[in-house]
Amino acid sequence: MRTGGVNEPKIAQNSMAQKKSLRIGVIGCGFMGRAHSNAYRRVSNFFDLSHEPVLQAACARDKSAALAFADRWGYASIETDWRKLVERGDIDAVDICVPSNLHCEIAVACAEAGKIVLCEKPLAMNFTEGETMCAAVEKAGVPNMVWYNYRRVPAVTMAKQLIDEGKLGRIFHYRANFLQDWTIAADLPQGGTALWRLDAAAAGSGVTGDLLAHCIDTALWLNGPMQDVSAMTETFVKERKHNLTGKVEAVGIDDACSFLCHFANGSLGLFESTRYARGHKALYTFEINGEHASLKWDLHDLHRLEYFDHRDEGRLRGWRSIHVSDHGGGQPYMDKWWVPGLQIGYEHSFVHQVADFLEALAQGQAAQPDFRTALATQRVCDSILASAQRRQWVMI
């Protein structure tokens, strides 16, 4: 029930008038379309920003799906052709939430139309497409960003702060894994709306572009560039029925991938991803070992940053568990939410990314990771696949 009498609507209107509208058009109404739409809707409730996202249009090839999505999330209109959405004069920013094989064409069209471009990860099917996308947005001078949302989990952001402050000293080891188990069944088909990630023509690669890309982006952000990789991949189920053709076809994606690397700072890296780890739905962890200290993080307990400092003296030296939900000491993002000690979730990482993007937009700065930064992750992914195919070390 509203309170405050006849002046309340006027107050709300004045509050809105102080913000600049950023009219959003989202292309793709699946899982990521939902995650991003939720972020656009919630960000202004918790962050004081100069821009206000406005859900202007949702686009999907299926008209009924687009209508249902727009109705649920509050989009003002729909399109069934992404080209028409890009051409519209009432769209400021286009959010690309479709399979990887469509990223390049849409992003280039957006740039040529002068639109802000936000793109799901991985950036593209391969480095060549990614370079084309970078050239397009840089030529047009349009703001751009790629949705590597794990950077915005408060505990992960805090890990970045500690590393940049020199708390760990020289880094020796970086190890990460991302484990799932949802594709083990041999009768699971490939392709189509829900299972495009199993189709190499739509996804480009399997766990390398889907899961390892997250691990790589985080690693490059926390620990700097990689120099070379040695990788192995495996496709455990060689053939699957294709949803679009109805035929049993060869599977072209990698079900599992592990790789070693050398970082430019002299540290060693060890990475593993698979969709064949029974019992794991989304186990993403990383651990970093340094000269003075180590830290580790687990997505399943995303508020906790485990930290060991060898400089602690006496019998109390040991791993400490830092619950990153306080408002003090520079803990990132949490002062925008609830009282200290109360938790947030996976979806809030997208809210944080929208907030950072809008703040960068207001300051005339590049929000990170932008296309050029995400291209570095794409280059590593390409090198991993090349290494696995050649069975040898590959320079990045």
43-72 tens-digit pLDDT: 999 999 999 999 999 999 999 999 999 999
Q: What is the pTM of this model?
A: 0.94
Does position 16 have pLDDT exceeding 60, yes or no? no
| Length in residues, the chain | 396
Residue 202 near residue 196 (C-beta atoms within 8 A): yes
Does position 303 have pLDDT exceeding 80, yes or no? yes
**Could you report the per-residue pLDDT of 74-89, keeping only the tens digit for each?**
999 999 999 999 999 9
pLDDT at 262: 98
pLDDT at 395: 98
Please report which confidence band the pLDDT of residue 9 belongs to, taking 50, 70 and 90 as the band edges. very low
Domains of the chain, first to last = 5-149 (3.40.50.720), 150-395 (3.30.360.10)
pLDDT at 12: 43
Q: CA nearest 384: which of 265, 219, 223?
A: 219
pLDDT at 4: 39
Does position 333 have pLDDT exceeding 80, yes or no? yes
Please report which confidence band the pLDDT of residue 18 belongs to, taking 50, 70 and 90 as the band edges. confident
Please report which confidence band the pLDDT of residue 17 belongs to, taking 50, 70 and 90 as the band edges. low
Tell me what percent of the residues of the chain surpass a pLDDT of 70.
96
pLDDT at 120: 98
**Could you report the per-residue pLDDT of 178-230, keeping only the tens digit for each?**
999 999 999 999 999 889 999 999 999 999 999 999 999 999 999 999 999 99
Please report which confidence band the pLDDT of residue 7 belongs to, taking 50, 70 and 90 as the band edges. very low
Helix/strand/coil (H, E, C) string of the chain? CCCCHHHHHHHHHHHHHCCEEEEEEEECCCHHHHHHHHHHHHHHHHCCCCEEEEEEEEECCCHHHHHHHHHHHCCCEEECCHHHHHHCCCCCEEEECCCHHHHHHHHHHHHHCCCEEEECCCCCCCHHHHHHHHHHHHHHCCCEEECCHHHHCHHHHHHHHHHHCCCCCCEEEEEEEEECCCCCCCCCCECCCCCHHHCHHHHCCCHHHHHHHHHHHHHHHHHCCEEEEEEEEECCCCEEEECCCCCEEECCCCCEEEEEEEECCCCEEEEEEECCCCCCCCEEEEEEEECCEEEEEEHHHCCEEEEEECCCCHHHCCCEEEECCCCCCCCCCHHHCCCCCCCCCHHHHHHHHHHHHHHHHHHCCCCCCCHHHHHHHHHHHHHHHHHHHHCCCEEC
Instruction: Report the alpha-carbon distance of residue 41 to residue 28 in Å, rounded.
Output: 17
Q: Supply the angle between the helices 213-223 and 154-164 in degrees, to the nearest 10.
A: 30
Q: Which residues on neighbouring strands pair with residue 263, listed in sequence order?
A: 226
Largest CA distance in the chain: 73
Does position 93 have pLDDT exceeding 60, yes or no? yes
pLDDT at 5: 38
Instruction: Report the alpha-carbon distance of residue 186 to residue 248 in Å, rounded.
Output: 12
Please report which confidence band the pLDDT of residue 8 belongs to, taking 50, 70 and 90 as the band edges. very low
**Could you report the per-residue pLDDT of 226-271, keeping only the tens digit for each?**
999 999 999 999 999 999 999 999 999 999 999 999 999 999 999 9
